[in-house]
Chains A and B, each alone.
Chain A
Amino acid sequence: MFKNILVANRGEIALRVIRAAKELGIRTTAVYSEADADSMHVHLADDAICIGPPASAESYLKMETILSAAEIANVDAIHPGYGFLSENPHFAQLCETCRVKFIGPSADVIRRMGDKNEARATAVKYGVPVTPGSNGIVETEKEEVQEANKIGYPVMIKASAGGGGRGMRPALNQASFVNAFHAARTEAQACFGSSDVYIEKLIENPHHVEVQVIADSKGGIIQLGERDCSMQRRNQKIIEETPSPLLTDKLRADMAEASVTLVKNIGYENCGTIEYLVDDAGNFFFMEMNTRIQVEHPITEEVWGCDLIKEQIRIAAGQRLSKHVLAAQPRGHSIECRINAEDPYNNFAPSPGKISLFYPSGGRGVRVDTHVYSGYEVPPHYDSMIAKLIVTGADREVAIARMIRALNEFVIRGIKTTIPFQSSILKEAAFRNGIYNIAWVEKFLASQPDPPELPDIELLEE
């Protein structure tokens, strides 16, 4: 087992990894930018090394700096968290070269599944349904118009090096296609360094449902259910739940089987998530695979009774999946709200600054994953998520009531947060009936006046 793990990340996920490592008796090393010197994870780690100025490009994304820190702290493994370098095959390769274990799949698998177009081809190869689309990169204008006409409008033009909801442009008809195509290529080059694009049929009003997979190095490969992440604003998830209210038992079983088949055939190791689009007719289509732990992993943990981060560490250390994980069965329903430091009354403008009072919800079935505390200064340099509120209940109705209760008592003063916004969504009939898709949030926002203010509970200020 590892003696010292370096956590190459920040915020709540860095704290999450440190907690799991502590429980396993493993020493932890945090790396931090100057803006994160007061982050809770830095102070709970056994060692902490400042790696650069606030800008991510100068700190959390600097591979050589992180490996230098790994060297002087004498670590034997690195957990990359999510985002940052977690799906960077060069970084994984560098770790391999420096003989520090990268906690995740191999650099080769990361590269193959990270190229969205190649991942699609791999899915096709192993019989996983994919959205009808171009067989590969489309380069010339002539080719592209042919492809689009063959697939049938509307289509989505996607960057091969994109992912995470970015680098996609729709074209609703032939007239708008050519411009959209060139714009997509330019954007792809600017954002991802490659203008390679491919085309897929645009599934209208799809649902985003993803399957959690986990594999050890000894042939243990299982799936741990699905998560419905259709509640999205501008392609960013804001509420996730498991199990998905949309799936029938048959669809669930089919998606699980397709996911395990894919993972078995690509030599995958460690945690991963396969993202699908599901249409209203109950067809599912492979979208992409995330070769890392996901933000919303806690809801799976709560329903399946496992600690995915600990399993990641164990797998990386060469151990088999835990017995209780191999035998796991889902129980109950879990929902997560991503709490962002954003102002829902002001077009979700970021709201960094000092949190004067932080009083998280508690009680039965409530879990809060966060690195912030009363007096913490939310820095402006990074993504706006400051906490994850995860509630679990015996069934979906209980979970919804519990989430509303938990959101109502969650106090964060000094900055604006998305809590009132998520609270209003939870009360909507569409959510309660489980009838919502990726387009729902935008429609809801357009139809709403300002979200209602939450009643402020009486708490004494200093």
Chain B
Amino acid sequence: MNFKEIQKIVELMNEHDLSQFTLEQGDTKMELKKGGNMDIQAVERLLASSGSSGTMHSAPAHPVTPPPPTDQAGSPSSLPAGVEEITSPMVGTLYSSPDPESEPFVKVGSKISPDSVLCIVEAMKVMNEIKSEISGEIIEILVENGTPVQFGDPLFRVKCS
């Protein structure tokens, strides 16, 4: 069984709206399952994680925006020394430039000061400029232009000066 064959099976499953496919061929057994009970998975995940740590924030299964790469607090232990994360103070759609024709506000390597505008988060037709509030150098841009962001989503990694 090669990848192309598996792909074909998946296509067939989707075409005929099948949710499960099992194939036994010699000593190879393959099972493909589509969908499944998302609710049970969500409950089980929550119950499993709640036993371990009271402060861990498990990201929900289907957030509109992808879950943050680190835990939501962006704790110092997960970032190298001298590096800070700038997170979104609001909910909306992130735009990297003032308008579609212009250059982005910042690039990797851009030097920023507390008043620097880093990006725009647009909500309900209002363009909100997101200011840096710290000084340093952009070392990583974490969200692409046009992506919806929620409160607390990490947007930029900055080497502080």
Binding site for B on A (CB under 8 A): 29-30, 34, 37-38, 40, 42-53, 59, 64-65, 67-69, 71-73, 98, 354, 373-377, 462
Q: Which of B60, B72, B150 contacts A43 (CB 8 A)?
A: B60
B144 CB to nearest chain A CB (Å): 14
Task: Classify the interface of chain A: helix, strand, loop or mixed.
Answer: mixed
Given contacts A65-B90, A71-B123, contact A376 B151 (CB under 8 A): no
Q: Is residue B114 within 8 Å, beta carbon to beta carbon, of the partner chain?
A: no
- A-B pairs with the 3 shortest C-beta distances? A375-B50, A68-B123, A72-B148
Do B151 and A52 touch (CB < 8 A)? yes
In the complex, what residues of B have CB within 8 A of residue A43's CB? 42-43, 45-46, 58, 60-61
Do A73 and B64 touch (CB < 8 A)? yes
In the complex, what residues of B have CB within 8 A of residue A47's CB? 62-64
Q: Which of B62, B72, B148, B153 contacts A37 (CB 8 A)?
A: B72
Given contacts A43-B43, A72-B91, contact A49 B50 (CB under 8 A): no
Per-position contact with A for B91-121: 1 when CB-CB < 8 Å, else 0?
Answer: 1110000000000000000000000000000
Q: Which of A34, A45, A71 contacts B57 (CB 8 A)?
A: A34
Q: Which of B46, B62, B150 contacts A50 (CB 8 A)?
A: B150
Tally inter-chain residue pairs, CB-CB below 8 A: 99
Do A51 and B91 touch (CB < 8 A)? yes
- Pull 16 A–B residue pairs with CB atoms less than 8 Å apart, ordered by A: A37-B72, A38-B49, A43-B42, A43-B58, A45-B62, A47-B63, A49-B63, A49-B64, A50-B91, A50-B151, A51-B91, A68-B91, A68-B92, A68-B124, A373-B50, A377-B50
Q: Is residue B5 within 8 Å, beta carbon to beta carbon, of the partner chain?
A: no
Do B151 and A37 touch (CB < 8 A)? no
Q: Is residue B69 within 8 Å, beta carbon to beta carbon, of the partner chain?
A: no
In the complex, what residues of A have CB within 8 A of residue B151's CB? 34, 49-53, 59, 65
A29 to B64 alpha-carbon distance, docked (Å): 9
Do A72 and B93 touch (CB < 8 A)? yes
In the complex, what residues of B have CB within 8 A of residue A48's CB? 60, 62-64
Do A65 and B91 touch (CB < 8 A)? yes
Nearest residue, chain B, Cβ from A52:
B151
A205 CB to nearest chain B CB (Å): 45
Given contacts A44-B42, A50-B150, A69-B91, contact A375 B62 (CB under 8 A): no
B96 CB to nearest chain A CB (Å): 17
Q: Is residue B152 within 8 Å, beta carbon to beta carbon, of the partner chain?
A: yes
Do B92 and A72 touch (CB < 8 A)? yes
In the complex, what residues of A have CB within 8 A of residue B59's CB? 37
15 additional A-B residue pairs with CB within 8 Å, beyond A72-B92, A375-B47: A34-B152, A37-B58, A42-B60, A43-B46, A44-B42, A47-B63, A47-B64, A49-B150, A50-B63, A50-B91, A53-B151, A65-B123, A67-B124, A373-B46, A462-B51
Per-position contact with A for B25-55: 1 when CB-CB < 8 Å, else 0?
Answer: 0000000000000010011011101110010
A49 to B93 alpha-carbon distance, docked (Å): 13
A65 CB to nearest chain B CB (Å): 5
Do A354 and B91 touch (CB < 8 A)? no
